[in-house]
A and B are shown apart, each in its own frame.
Chain A
């Protein structure tokens, strides 16, 4: 079996090179048949990588523990969904997964555009296939998932495997990596189109229009991946946080930030023909940061809690990265003439300028995170001493940036293009400002003194009001004209310009998430050692130890847990059972925290261990407003999906056709 898989990957590698060369040479020498056959080679690459991946999944499912990868990431007792997740649970498998996704995307892109963009497509395929070739080199020659652990005559089986890291055996961990990968790999496509348009010196914004939806979908996948990762860290890791500024987390955030900047600044190019070079830079850096992130997490260059063993793939990645960066920089520099801006900034008080500031601070944030993550590497080269920076550094820089972005979220959409007058601004922002200030005043009156939290809540109120006014204005105009009620007018409004109003919905979601983030300013934590029957007070909650249990779960793990009576202001709330597990196959302990989620605050209890006698040691926390983050994200998700819905075309009928042909409330739209 493993020979079949390895062979399929090797063939895929050959076909990818063929597709790359065939496509580019076919275009240069003007041979349509060569281009055509290169396109077919793209489909073949997909089929072959699929075979390779299927063989790997089959081996995992059937427990072929002779394969090193299968032995490392799965075992007999693992439930089937985690066996499947083992495909991307280790280094070699996740690289194969990456390859497979890229092959799939390439095949889809090639199919969709098989009759379009005759000029550009061969190069788009060329770029995609160069990336594919790189990953297939890794899959075949450097980190093959089909390496045998024990080879020898007559070896047919190897007892049992190690099992997937128990920490990863959690539902969000089954979907988190695929989501992130879908996002990261997806950015190869806009990047390929951007490069294709540069190489062929396309005049217009064709590449942006073609890839707009693609970019949005990949951005959504990335966001899902990041949020699922933090939801997992919060519920599973037992330290109660959802973000620790760990290098691996930072690596996933960097391309997301540049991707977000790109989504905003393409509007400048589409509407005003500005920032063309900038967009090229953004889309390229997003792609390069995706590669860089993979390099960072797998090369062992910085210390991280994410235990990917250091491996020989580091130099491969850095070479590829250097090569890709050099090519991109060269292409952009040599095509600067084609990227001239069509108009220029007219006023600091304009939407253009708000977009620019949005991009400026997003990039500043990206740079500070990159700087902080690489600080040990930088200082080792410059000062001969490894120095790292920590959470407070990232917080200090990024909290003000985040608040400034929140402010822009409110201002940007309401400010006019080109030039705004102070008078119109005063009118537009009167109510949002009043409500924002009122929120701050009320919170101060209730005794809140945390300055960032006050600013954040005030800004949340400000932004929410601006968005509410936008929806109100638009939908009341429609309802006055058509007599619909406000709700259906609002749906109608959104449907007419899904991109704009969907975007507002995304902003609403972001605001809700900010409310959740701000809750962290009021976290409470306490570590206690308690005897049976003793209790401790945390905020308004009383935590009382009423028992202790031990047991074993069907050959998988041993567990012990504390039984806790949780009450608030003397009123019994629930019985909580924080648990520790010890996985037998991998000899790894994990914790299963007790988590009582509520809209206002979560109570979070982690069973740390046993103390003297029958005493138990626990970390107890109150995390206000955390649930708002997850709810806010659902709104972001919904908003992004709305953006993807095509606009409702205004149907124009001659008046006499509308009257009288209406049957059952349905007007058959004539093609116009």
Chain B
């Protein structure tokens, strides 16, 4: 067997294994981005997929119950109740009015069980500066 063939075979085996691992990884963790409005249209197919839903956190909706955190996401007047029970602490930016993205699964009762929540500050730079001092 020529050495180039040997080398090629070994490389193919390595890349094949990695490809197989990668494909499995995709299957295991694929998360579908959905709008809240789309969730309601999906019907039964939505229950076994990992989903990612985004929205603004409704004011005063964050409630801690034991190690779970309950909150409500709003997007275009549609709301979604979310229960977060992941082990990682919620980010510091997670507060009323922030934009949040929740990863998890939809339960049959319509609540969303999140295992991961990311949040971004509602674009603070859009706030108007106050305290303009003018001369004279």
Point out residues on A near B: beta carbons under 8 Å.
65, 71-72, 149-150, 152, 154-160, 162, 167, 237-241, 303, 305, 307, 309, 345-348, 353, 356-357, 360-361, 364, 368, 371, 375-376, 385-397, 400-401, 404, 525-529, 586-591, 606, 608-609, 611, 617, 619
Contact = CB atoms under 8 A, between A and B. Distances in A.
Interface string B1-21: 001101100110011011001
A588 B132 CA distance: 23
Interface residues of B, number: 51
A348 B91 contact: no
A617 B10 CA distance: 52
A238 B89 contact: yes
Given A356-B7, A611-B64, A617-B67, A397 B18 contact: yes
Interface stretch (B72-80, B106-114, B120-128): B120-128
B10 A389 contact: no
A389 B32 CA distance: 9
Contacts of B101: 303
A389 B14 contact: no
B28 interface: yes
Nearest to A236: B92
Q: Is the interface of B mostly helix, strand, loop or mixed?
A: mixed
A9 B83 CA distance: 51
Interface of A is mostly: mixed
Contacts of A157: 133
Contacts of A591: 89, 92
B26 A393 contact: yes
Nearest to B32: A387
A397 B3 contact: no
Contact of A72 (B66, B89, B125): B125
The 9 nearest A-B residue pairs measured at CB? A159-B131, A393-B25, A386-B33, A527-B67, A396-B25, A390-B29, A157-B133, A154-B135, A239-B88
Contacts, number: 156
Contact of B25 (A156, A158, A353, A397): A397
Given A159-B131, A400-B17, A154 B29 contact: no
B136 A617 contact: no
Contact of A159 (B18, B89, B118, B132): B132
A157 B134 CA distance: 7
B31 A396 contact: no
Contact of A529 (B11, B52, B66, B88): B66
B93 A364 contact: no
28 contacts: A71-B129, A154-B134, A155-B134, A156-B134, A158-B131, A238-B91, A238-B92, A239-B88, A305-B118, A305-B120, A346-B3, A361-B18, A364-B18, A371-B22, A386-B32, A387-B30, A388-B30, A388-B33, A389-B26, A389-B29, A391-B29, A393-B22, A395-B25, A404-B14, A529-B64, A587-B124, A617-B67, A619-B89
Interface in B24-55: 24-26, 28-33, 52
